[in-house]
Every structure is written in C-alpha cells, then in structure tokens.
Amino acid sequence: MASWNSGPLEVAYQFLGWFAFACWSISFYPQVILNFRRKSVVGLNFDFALLNLTKHSSYLIYNACVYFSSAVQKQYFEEYGSGEMIPVAANDVAFSAHAVVLTALTLFQIVIYERGTQKISKLAIGIVSAVWLSAAICSFIALPAHSWLWLVSLFNTIQICMTIIKYVPQATMNFMRKSTDGFSIGNILLDFSGGISNYGQMVVQSIDQGSWVNFYGNVGKLMLSLVSVSFDIFFICQHYVFYPAKKTFKSVASVEPEDEIKEHLVQCYGDPAATENV
C-alpha cells in the first residue's frame, strides 16, 4: 500500500475530506429541522427520500467494506496495483453511516407528519425492490468465488445510479408546483460545498501519487461529486431564479391590503356598484 509523498498534500487531503464530511453531514439537518418546525413534509418529495436512503445504504456498504475488509483491499491492489492507495477515506465511512441515519429519520418524519395527498410512487417502490433483489442475487453469485471486490463494486454502481435518479422526482415536483416551498435550500448549499470538497480531495490524492487511478478506481465517489454538484446548481436556480419565494410573498402582500381597503369602503359607504344599479 502506497504512502503519502507530500506532507502538505496529506494535510490538504484530510482537511478537504473532513470538510466535505461536515458539509454533507450538516446538509441533512435543515430539511429535518424544517419538517419538525412545520410538523409537515409537504413540499418534500417522498420518492426522493426513499431513493436517497437506498443510495446511502449501498454507499455505506461499499465504503465500509473497502475501508475495513483486508480481503477486499487485497483484491483491489491485485486489480489496480499494490502501489496505489485505497480510494476510501475514514470520512467517507463516517459520512455514509451518518447519512443512513438521517435519511431514515426523514422517512420517519414522512410517516408521522402531515403530508397532504402525496404518497411514495409505485415506480420508486419498484426501483428500490429491484435494486435490493438484484443485490441479493449478486451476493449469492459472488459467495462461491469469493469475488468480494466485484460485489462491493456492485453496491458502488447502485449508489451511482441512485445518485443520478434520486434528484429527478424533487426537481420535477418543484417544476410542477412552480415553488420550492417545503424543500430546504440550506440542504442544497451545503451539499454543493461538500461535493466540491470531495472532488478536491480526489484531485489532491491523485497529484500526490502521480496517478489518476483514484478516479477510475472509485468511479462512485467521482460521480457522487459531479452529479450532486450538477443537480445542486439546478436546485439553486429553481430556488433563487425560477421560483423565488419573494415574488410569492410580494404578490400576496400587495393583494391582501387592497382587498382589506375595498372591504372597509363597502362597510362605510356601501357597494358603489349596487348604488349605481339602483
């Protein structure tokens, strides 16, 4: 297993990794707190929450196995060379574990809080069921041959697919409602910062090792950053550009006083239209 060539780059790697961990971990709380304060989950897409739990669960399995399992690490070095470093850091494992707990808590909030008429779609349930059934089948296939790296890489592939599709229901819901009310933008801003830091961590490691195996040896981590950042930018545009909440508040504020003035005039002087008719 390779070691670091540059002390400063190692420090930068650790800093970026734990900064990404902090941003991504904290990013779950604005939505949880918003749900708690409103005692409602209206505005949060339930398919997004379910797919998110599947994504983080599979990512936790991959990260934990690569980081802790000597058998998986041995097969990784056989595949990519013994001079390489494993592509999973301690912050990756910590983030994944924390993410599973918080996404599960969000789903629990969906169960106990006011949710309007929204339900988890049959499509999302079907996707999640197919994913875990496929994972179970592949586990039985890998068991006799001890193909552990292939198996954990499958979970990495699952998290890539979930990362790509999980944002679509929420983005579509925002578009249909022409609003992001009920969906925390704080979550997105922190997720964006974490994605940039995560990508920077991979760059620092590659520069130190003089090799880009870190990228194609852990495509899941790379895609996690790129896809998350891309959708975060889209959500930021939805919130601040396409459907800014201030416009809604201004329109309501301008209409209500006008209605109150009209009602007051009618009470004092009667309905002008009715007087004219008489």
Q: Locate the domains of the chain by residue range.
A: 7-243, 246-278
pLDDT value, residue 60: 94
- Segment 96-124 shows an average pLDDT of 93
List the one residue out of 62, 44, 49 whose CA is nearest residue 166.
Answer: 49
Q: Is the pLDDT of residue 93 over 60?
A: yes
Banded pLDDT at 97 (limits 50, 70, 90):
very high
Q: Please report the pLDDT score of residue 84 as a whole number.
A: 66
Whether the pLDDT of residue 260 is over 80: the answer is no
Buried b (16+ CB within 10 A) or exposed e, 239-258: beeebeeeeeeeeeeeeeee
Higher-confidence residue: 39 or 246? 39
- What average pLDDT does this structure show over 218-223? 70
- 109 or 183, higher pLDDT: 109
Confidence of residue 248 (pLDDT cuts 50, 70, 90): very low
Q: Is the pLDDT of residue 249 over 70?
A: no
More confident residue, 51 or 217: 51
Q: So what's the pLDDT on residue 133?
A: 96
Is the predicted pLDDT of residue 277 greater than 70, yes or no? Answer: no
| pLDDT at residue 214, as a whole number | 64
Give this prediction's pTM.
Answer: 0.71
The band of 80, judged by pLDDT with boundaries at 50, 70 and 90, is: confident
The larger pLDDT score, comparing residue 85 to residue 91, is at 91
Query: Residue 118 burial by CB count (10 A; 0-12/13-18/19+): exposed, middle or buried?
Result: middle
Averaged confidence pLDDT in the chain: 82
In sign, the C-alpha dihedral spanning 252, 256, 257, 262 is: positive
Give the whole-angstrom CA distance, residue 253 versus residue 265.
19
Gap between the Cα atoms of 17 and 92, Å rounded: 8
Residue type, 6: S
pLDDT at 257 over 60: no
pLDDT of residue 82: 62
Mean pLDDT calculated for residue range 95-113 = 94
Residue 61's pLDDT band, with cuts at 50, 70 and 90, is very high
pLDDT at 207: 85
pLDDT at 244: 85
pLDDT for position 271: 55
CB atoms within 10 A of CB 170: 24
Q: Are 91 and 16 in contact (CB under 8 A)?
A: no
Predicted confidence band at 99 (pLDDT cuts at 50, 70, 90)?
Answer: very high
Q: Is the pLDDT of residue 156 over 60?
A: yes
* Tens-digit pLDDT profile for residues 167-219: 888 889 889 988 888 888 888 898 899 888 888 888 888 888 777 776 766 67
